[in-house]
Amino acid sequence: MNPKQLKTSNETTKPNFKSGFIAVVGRPNVGKSTLINELIGQKLSITSHRPQTTRHRIHAIDTTDDYQMVFVDTPGIHMGNSKAINSYMNRAASSTIADVDVILWLTEVGKWTKEDSRVLEHITRVEVPVILCINKIDKLKSTQEVLPFLDKVSQKYQPTDLFPLSAFKKNDTRALRQLVLQYLPKQTLIFDADYITDRSEKFIVAEFIREKLMRHLEDELPYDLTVEIEQFEQEGNLQRISARIFVDKASQKNIVIGNKGSMLKLIGTEARKSIEGFLDRKVFLKLWVKVKQGWSDDKRALASLGYD
Ligand SMILES: Nc1nc2c(ncn2[C@@H]2O[C@H](COP(=O)(O)OP(=O)(O)OP(=O)(O)O)[C@@H](O)[C@H]2O)c(=O)[nH]1
Ligand SMILES: [Mg+2]
């Protein structure tokens, strides 16, 4: 979907109100989803220490009396993997770049890779302002240490702004928000003021479960699993959720379930807590594991699992 074709709100706003779409792009694992959650002050997009955590484009919307910022989180642009799911993810990211008001391009201080160069190829084709963010500077002993990396990236590309930051530092995210605001057009709301995302509750819930799987399971597994919500029913202040975890092989099913079901139990408990925080109601969560061989390289299976 073209982000600019989304519904326009009829609510009235101040005369100088600004709004717009801000794409957050970069290679996997640089901190895009972490930064977006911090910018909007709410956890919407899942994060983990593994690359290729985000698989779908997702809008995270921050509305105040003065502006509405629609951040578009994207999968990390990556190389070296050619399954159907990888091309789906790369397409979701690169197509977003074409149609937004501002681009936040994230890199990680001290770590320029071939995948960053791939992102650069996409970025050079656009004409909107590009803020090149150098993330994770909290890892440096002194902020001076950012200078050689700043030099290196400046030789490759001259962005509209170069912005070193740590996604975890409130002062940094506040300053970045002010910078983004300068580039947004004066216009009214794009979404109703109370919207926080374009995605359904069901989608976010499936993602929260996938996040716990990614964080707890062995190295090679997370790429081969996905989550589908089968039941999502509200009874008063209780949400009944049943979700199926699809894995690629029978051996992976055993890993997800763990010894006497211990892993699935841990994942279920952690996921339930974060879902309760998001939905603001009590949750009854049931998880199942099913083998669906080859799903991540099968276009039809991908579409049936929501990768369309
Ligand atoms: N030290 C440090 N770690 C960070 C910072 N921002 C993000 N991280 C960590 O970097 C890892 C990756 O973060 P994500 O937000 O999932 O990265 P991403 O770019 O969305 O990754 P993909 O969705 O895989 O493309 C996580 O372990 C984060 O906690 C930061 O400013 N400093
Ligand atoms: Mg992400």
- Answer yes or no: is the C-beta of 54 below 6 A from any ligand 1 atom: yes
Residue of 27, 36, 47 to mutate, ligand 1, most atoms within 8 A of C-beta = 47
Statement to judge: residues 60 and 142 lie in one domain: yes
Q: State how many domains the chain has.
A: 2
Cα separation values, 304 from 95, 172, 300, Å: 22, 40, 6
- Position 8 scores a pLDDT of 53
- Position 4 scores a pLDDT of 45
Per residue in 123-171, pLDDT (tens digit) is 999 999 999 999 999 999 998 999 999 999 999 999 999 999 999 999 9
Q: Kindly state whether residue 196 falls inside one of the protein's structural domains.
A: no
Statement to judge: residues 116 and 37 lie in one domain: yes
Residue of 24, 30, 32, 34 to mutate, ligand 1, most atoms within 8 A of C-beta = 34
Q: What is the CATH number of the domain that holds 8?
A: 3.40.50.300
No. of H helices and E strands in the chain? 9, 9
- Position 120 scores a pLDDT of 97
Phi, psi of 49 (to 5 degrees): -75, -5
Question: By residue range, what is the domain housing residue 287?
Answer: 201-304
d(CA 285, CA 53): 22
- Answer yes or no: is the C-beta of 136 below 6 A from any ligand 1 atom: yes
Instruction: Give the per-residue SS3 of 14-56.
Output: CCCCEEEEEEEEECCCCCHHHHHHHHHCCCCCCCCCCCCCCCC
Per residue in 176-191, pLDDT (tens digit) is 999 999 999 999 999 9
Statement to judge: residues 63 and 173 lie in one domain: yes
Q: Kindly state whether residue 193 falls inside one of the protein's structural domains.
A: no
Per residue in 274-291, pLDDT (tens digit) is 999 999 999 999 999 999
Per residue in 39-72, pLDDT (tens digit) is 999 999 999 999 999 999 999 999 999 999 999 9
pTM value is 0.94
- Answer yes or no: is the C-beta of 110 below 6 A from any ligand 1 atom: no
**Mean pLDDT across the stretch 247-272?**
94
**Mean pLDDT across the stretch 89-112?**
94
Q: Is 83 helix (H, G, I), strand (E, B) or coil?
A: coil
Statement to judge: residues 98 and 212 lie in one domain: no
Q: Where residue 9 falls among pLDDT bands split at 50, 70, 90? A: low
Please, where are the H alpha helices in the chain?
32-40, 84-97, 114-123, 147-156, 170-183, 201-216, 250-257, 262-279, 299-304
